Chains A and B, each alone.
Chain A
Amino acid sequence: DTAVSQTPKYLVTQMGNDKSIKCEQNLGHDTMYWYKQDSKKFLKIMFSYNNKELIINETVPNRFSPKSPDKAHLNLHINSLELGDSAVYFCASSQDSPTSGQETQYFGPGTRLLVL
């Protein structure tokens, strides 16, 4: 019973292609995130959604389009893939509240994207 799951685990594709990564959480959280981890292991937030509403969009190229069909799912679609998009993409979720303060973000296992 994985808390945050991502598919696929590995993705190898050619430059210019369009691909999607799916994420699902079964923790009942309201907030989901996408992070990018580059080859130097630097981890950077890309997007966050709260109750299906986009909250954070960190100057990500508009080739990246997140979609949240419901609170438990946050997918990432990438158009016209470039070499520089090669990275590990992590989905995460948390249950945040201004009254309870910061809550733990639970990360998925990652999707390793290689653009050739």
Chain B
Amino acid sequence: QQQVKQSPQSLIVQKGGISIINCAYENTAFDYFPWYQQFPGKGPALLIAIRPDVSEKKEGRFTISFNKSAKQFSLHIMDSQPGDSATYFCAASEFWGATNKLIFGTGTLLAVQP
């Protein structure tokens, strides 16, 4: 079963607009929620992350909103730019032995039109 559900599958936004991607999880043992950005032909790279003890984290134009009771979190990209066009993955993680086990959402392909 898909432990981390992500929507929408694809998103088209005008330059300067707000991009919103939503994720939901089931496992309450998850204790770390990162977002990764992936450009074509490249590996995913960490964009921003949040722990469940805070409800919001902002870094520049990127904000994570976290609702622990609803087991949902979302990424907001303010003032979206064409350079933000990429695939975005939410993820949830739990500490597993001596490593952390990341479960990824299905990804959202974002296209920002100039």
Contact = CB atoms under 8 A, between A and B. Distances in A.
A56 B98 CA distance: 10
Interface residues of A, number: 31
Interface in B39-67: 41-46, 49, 51
Nearest to B33: A102
Contacts of A59: none
Q: Is chain A's binding surface mostly helix, strand, loop or mixed? A: strand
A94 B104 contact: no
A48 interface: yes
Nearest to B42: A109
A116 interface: no
A31 B102 CA distance: 13
Q: Is chain B's binding surface mostly helix, strand, loop or mixed? A: strand
A68 interface: no
A33 B31 CA distance: 19
A96 B42 contact: no
Contact of A102 (B32, B44, B89, B98): B32
A32 to B, nearest CB: 9
Contacts of A50: 97-99
A55 B46 contact: no
Contacts of A110: 41-43
B43 A107 contact: yes
Interface in A15-60: 30-31, 33, 40-45, 48, 50-51, 53, 55-56
B51 A101 contact: yes
Contact of B46 (A4, A53, A96, A104): A104
